[in-house]
Amino acid sequence: MTTTTAESQIKETVTSNAVVLFMKGNKTMPQCGFSSRVAGVLNYMGVDYADVDVLQDQEIRQGIKDYSDWPTIPQLYVKGEFVGGCDIITEMTLSGELDQLFEQNGVAYDKDAAAKIREANAED
């Protein structure tokens, strides 16, 4: 598999799915803490998303870093646009920005679950 094949496969994946998470492992069995945290947020919020296990394909693992110009995994895409990695998604979840992004892009999610995440993480 060549880099261009990996790149075209990545492009096809991010453009044909509303929400895509490139991660280590998969949504039911994440293989690292950061992937687990982002998948956990999406799962809890009831977001329908495609998961791509970068551990299954070295070309995709490197290719996604080149594609986004972002050095780490996981990487979240919404409507073909790179959103960020674990820290960014965590911040966006807690600030409500992730809800807004989903709403603007017509992505269904559980608003009550999103509010519960913020409540659970609110600083006293």
pLDDT tens digits, residue range 101-114? 999 999 999 999 99
Whether the Cβ atoms of residue 80 and residue 65 lie closer than 8 Å to each other: no
Whether the Cβ atoms of residue 78 and residue 107 lie closer than 8 Å to each other: yes
Which residue range is the domain that position 9 belongs to? 3-119
Total count of domains within the chain: 1
Residue 124 lies in a domain: no
Residue 106 lies in a domain: yes
What pTM did the predictor assign? 0.94
Residue 60 lies in a domain: yes
What tokens appear for 121 in the block?
A: 């993480």
Predicted pLDDT at 124: 57
Residue 14 lies in a domain: yes
The CATH number that applies at residue 17 is 3.40.30.10
Residue 52 lies in a domain: yes
**What is the distance between the alpha carbons of residues 8 and 4, in angstroms, rounded to a whole number?**
6
The CA-atom distances, in angstroms, between 40 and each of 12, 21, 30, 117 are: 25, 11, 9, 11
pLDDT tens by residue, 54-86: 999 999 999 999 999 999 999 999 999 999 999
HSE value, Cβ hemisphere, 13 Å, CA-based, for 62: 7
